[in-house]
Chains A and B, each alone.
Chain A
Amino acid sequence: MMHPIRRQRLFLVIFIVVAASLAVGLMTYALRDNINLFYPPSEIAAGDAPPGVRIRAGGMVVDGSVERASDSLFVRFLVTDGEAEVEVHYTGILPDLFAAGEAAVVTGELDKQGIFMASEVLAKHDENYTPPEVADAMNAAHERAKQSTDES
């Protein structure tokens, strides 16, 4: 049997941990929208994101939507979360890992037409790591599967 004084101290320790968890839990719950780094395109399309304020948007860069200007660093592309798309305009250098079909996080403002005028573009890496040969083989298999469904 545990000594009564020690048992009392054990309850004190449990109380500290539970009370701290509760306090921080309620705080993060209240601040949950502010803790998100970016808005997904569906929330921007639904009008949840404020226009004219510096915000971030994040999502997948739509395949084939990236258009670069030939005479400047201007680029425009669409980001999607599978539900809605947002058009992004940006002038500047893109990170190396920026590519169609990959995720990106853009910082900037929404204009009145709902176009996102970005001042910074970050690439978001996924949790997958593959050697180049394996990635090539997977892409080749994907292409073959696509071709066979197109033919049939």
Chain B
Amino acid sequence: MWQWFHRLGSPRWFYQASGKWLPWLAGITFVLLLIGLMWGLGFAPRDAKQGNSFRIIYIHVPASFLALAGYYVMAIAGAVGLIWKMKLADMVMKSAAPLGAALTFVALITGAIWGKPTWGTYWVWDARITSMLVLLFLYMGVMALQHSYTSVDAANRASAVLSLVGMVNIPIIYKSVDWWYTLHQPATIKFTEAPTMHPDMFHPLLVMIAGFYCFYALVLILNTRSEILHRERRSSWVKDIVLQNQR
């Protein structure tokens, strides 16, 4: 029963399989982001109150979505690595950290740029924004732990435990705007209700979110592939690949 699971955990199998997915994934990502950006920035109507400045939503919301979803990817990969000692899971966890940190940073910066004309300030210490900053520090903590051990196993264990402990922050970020009084507005897109956004503005946002999901998968796979080559550099199949490329 667990056999397929262990095959999936083989770095060599993953490296070879993902090589075939990459061109397709890259193509879909490029098309979705291009359509989404042109549609959102060029053709979607402006907002009645904010004017054109609302268009930063087409970067801010998808980046925030993936910053949060990416944390689950990192924490679940860490848990799988802890329980099953699966090499590939540890590599995915390590690769997800800088990507998640970058997306969190983009979400914070675009939020600050939007905040100045809309709220009248770049930054305010409300529950949503502060918990998002904590998320950035959690990602950076995992990155730091990965580099602070000489033993790969110890680094993996430590960063997996930090990822799992930090997971409690994700529902707090999601619900912060409902649980407390914050300056940040409540969610526009909800799973249970219709979005409180005009369809002409909402559809390009959906395309951008789909594009960011593909972008996330693409960069995660690329990061993981280079991590595989690095950690498996002494194995014969990696040496074969390197020799082939040199010829």
CB pair B79 A131 closer than 8 Å: no
CB pair B127 A16 closer than 8 Å: no
**Chain A: interface residue total (CB-CB under 8 A):** 44
Query: Contacts of A64 on B, CB cut-off 8 Å?
Result: none
Query: Contacts of A136 on B, CB cut-off 8 Å?
Result: 48
Give the nearest-CB partner of A128 in chain B: B196
Query: Contacts of A17 on B, CB cut-off 8 Å?
Result: 164-165, 167-168
A6-B83, A13-B82, A95-B119 are known contacts. Are A125 and B49 too (CB-CB below 8 A)?
yes
Query: Contacts of B181 on A, CB cut-off 8 Å?
Result: 36-40, 58
A16-B161, A122-B183, A131-B198 are known contacts. Are A6 and B168 too (CB-CB below 8 A)?
no
B172 at the interface (CB under 8 A from A): yes
CB pair B201 A13 closer than 8 Å: no
A6-B83, A35-B127 are known contacts. Are A127 and B196 too (CB-CB below 8 A)?
yes
CB pair A128 B50 closer than 8 Å: no
Give the nearest-CB partner of B166 in chain A: A20
Q: Identify which of A13, A94, A105, A132 contacts B48 (C-beta below 8 A).
A: A132
Majority SS at the chain A contact face: mixed
Q: Identify which of B120, B188, B196 contacts A95 (C-beta below 8 A).
A: B120
Query: Contacts of B125 on A, CB cut-off 8 Å?
Result: 37
Give the nearest-CB partner of A12 in chain B: B82
Query: Contacts of A39 on B, CB cut-off 8 Å?
Result: 181
A21 at the interface (CB under 8 A from B): yes
Q: Identify which of A32, A97, A127 contacts B186 (C-beta below 8 A).
A: A127
B180 at the interface (CB under 8 A from A): yes
CB pair A131 B124 closer than 8 Å: no
Query: Contacts of A36 on B, CB cut-off 8 Å?
Result: 127, 180-181
CB pair B188 A130 closer than 8 Å: no
CA distance A17 to B169 in the complex (A): 11
CA distance A17 to B165 in the complex (A): 6
Query: Contacts of A105 on B, CB cut-off 8 Å?
Result: 119, 183
Query: Contacts of A120 on B, CB cut-off 8 Å?
Result: 120-121
A129-B196, A129-B197 are known contacts. Are A20 and B118 too (CB-CB below 8 A)?
no
CB pair B126 A9 closer than 8 Å: no
Q: Chain B nearest CB: distance from A25 CB in Å?
A: 8
A71 at the interface (CB under 8 A from B): no
CB pair B119 A9 closer than 8 Å: no
Give the nearest-CB partner of B115 in chain A: A122
B54 at the interface (CB under 8 A from A): yes
CA distance A32 to B45 in the complex (A): 39
B185 at the interface (CB under 8 A from A): yes
CB pair A97 B127 closer than 8 Å: no
- A interface list, Cβ under 8 A from B: 6, 9-10, 12-13, 16-17, 20-21, 24-25, 28, 32, 35-40, 58, 94-98, 102, 105, 120-136
- Interface CB pairs A-B, < 8 A, 13: A16-B161, A20-B168, A24-B172, A37-B126, A37-B180, A58-B181, A122-B124, A123-B118, A123-B119, A126-B185, A129-B57, A131-B200, A133-B45
Excluding A38-B181, A97-B120, A122-B121, 8 further A-B contacts by CB distance (< 8 Å) are A13-B82, A21-B168, A24-B168, A95-B120, A97-B50, A123-B118, A125-B49, A127-B187
